[in-house]
Structure 1
Amino acid sequence: MDQTATPSQPACGAKSKEDHRTTFARRKRERTKAILLDSVMAVYVKRVNSIQLVIDDVIVHAGVSRGTFYKYFSSLDEAIVQISSKTSGEMVDSSLSVYDQFEDPLYRTGTGLQLYLARAFFDHEWGTFHAYMALQDTGNRLVQLMEGDIRQGIKTGIFSSADQTSALDLLIGTKIEAIKRICSGSVGSDYIVQITEAVFRGLGVPPQLAHEAARKCFDFVVAEGPEKLRWWGWSLTNPEGVG
């Protein structure tokens, strides 16, 4: 019995060593791809409204060769789509734990909007990239949920001044422009409340309710954010903390 057991021992050892090499290689590939995606975002943000982004910009920023880039992406457009999908997915996954705590479509709509605006305060690079890619990102889960909230709000009469299409365009369009404003560094965090109130009033919410609901959403996001949102930074209620 001992003789039959002995030959299997080197094979087991070899298998463990091979698994270790495979794991190391996989993690290295993941790190390299993450670096490339981060570089795509960083360079894309710098080139918004200026000269066209090219692969050379990305590989110089990432410190890799052109061949390495093509191991992961067939084109720059594919890389941009992937980083857009990645950042969108991360935002949705992290935000639902806060957003889903409301059932009222008014507060769900306000909270969803404010989550995007709050993140833009903490990360201008993310915000700039999201603002310029958002029109291509209408299929993510959070946007779909917000569409449902708009429908419910219209059905119940809380959103009384717009049909579903114009209401959603108002919400998404305002979100994009508000993020751009935030990333310019020209407004403080109370802008989040002000723009939410403006959206509510545009949707037909009575002025007093629009004001109170916008503030309630903000207070809720500020209270829940530090514990539940991994991208949360400083206190939004501290004006000195706003970058």
Structure 2
Amino acid sequence: MRTPPDTLPDSPPDHRTRVAMERRRKMRQRLIESAFAVLARKGAHAAVIEDVIVEAGVSRGTFYNYFQNNEELLDAVTAKLGDYLMQLVDPVVRTQEDPAARVASGIRLCLRAALAFPQMAQLVSRMDWQQAAPGGQPHGYLARDVEAGLREGRFKVANARLATDLVVGPVISAFHALLHEPLPPGYPEDLAQGILLGLGLSRTEARQLSQRPLPDLSLVPVPKPA
């Protein structure tokens, strides 16, 4: 007996549709990677459209099929870079069972990356963390540890939003600061300690967690093409 038409399962996209979608994905990735290369040379606030077109070897029309302006391109680049940074940092963070230790190590590793690669700091410092919060990897990883810290009684603040702001605000401020002035030795550890104090840990424990040994990361500021 034939299945009635209104109960047929949705058919998958045909081959041409799948090929077109994959081609579009690869071109967008190519433009973002080209923007990484340009921004590494010229800085995060350069007007980069012309240079990206040349770097990617595409026409102006092709570029504008994917991005309407410079800001839209930079938003895509910073989102990609934030996700990439978290993919490097989080495997180390997850070796810690204590959520307070996770937050401390995440802060320190992110700042070490920014100190090693000022271009990364320029790009990440322009991220709108509050608008990107629901879907971005940086917020997702932090939310995981903040919620665990509150649930386990490690953080003694009113709610998750306050705890998140107590972490994100100082870190973004530090990213901005290191672009304009040399930070004192041990600043990532000092900042992590200060944030843990704000979250309600004792001075002794905050100091201990912020001084735990961490492995060095093999940081590459621009993701390599697949």
TM-score by length of 1: 0.67
2:209 corresponds to 1:213: yes
Counterparts of 1:1-243 in structure 2, within 5 Å, are 34-40=33-39, 43=42, 45-46=44-45, 53=47, 55-56=49-50, 66-67=60-61, 69-70=63-64, 72-135=66-129, 136-138=131-133, 139-216=135-212, 219-220=213-214, 224-226=215-217, 229-231=218-220
SS at match of 2:127: helix
How far did 1:109 drift? 0.8
Contact preservation (8 Å) 1:37, 1:79:
no
The share of aligned pairs that are identical, in percent, is: 26
Q: Deviations over 1:175-206 (max 9, x none)?
A: 10011222324213400011111101111110
Q: Deviations over 1:81-130 (max 9, x none)?
A: 22122212211222222111111111011111112111100111111110
What stretches of structure 1 of length at least 5 have no aligned partner?
Answer: 1-25, 48-52, 233-243
The whole-number CA distance in structure 2 between the counterparts of 1:156 and 1:28 is 45
The whole-number CA distance in structure 2 between the counterparts of 1:177 and 1:97 is 25
- Matching residue's letter, 1:168: T
Structure 2 match to 1:21: none
Contact preservation (8 Å) 1:134, 1:176:
no
Structure 2 match to 1:12: none
Contact preservation (8 Å) 1:128, 1:183:
yes
Structure 1 residues 28 and 45: CA distance shift in structure 2, 3 A: closer
How far did 1:231 drift? 3.1
Structure 1 match to 2:3: none
Structure 2 match to 1:239: none
- Matching residue's letter, 1:183: L
Structure 1 residues 30 and 172: CA distance shift in structure 2, 3 A: closer
- Matching residue's letter, 2:111: L
- Matching residue's letter, 1:192: P
TM-score by length of 2: 0.72
The whole-number CA distance in structure 2 between the counterparts of 1:97 and 1:107 is 14
How far did 1:150 drift? 1.4
Contact preservation (8 Å) 2:78, 2:126:
no
Number of aligned residue pairs: give it. Answer: 195
What stretches of structure 2 of length at least 5 have no aligned partner?
Answer: 1-24, 222-226
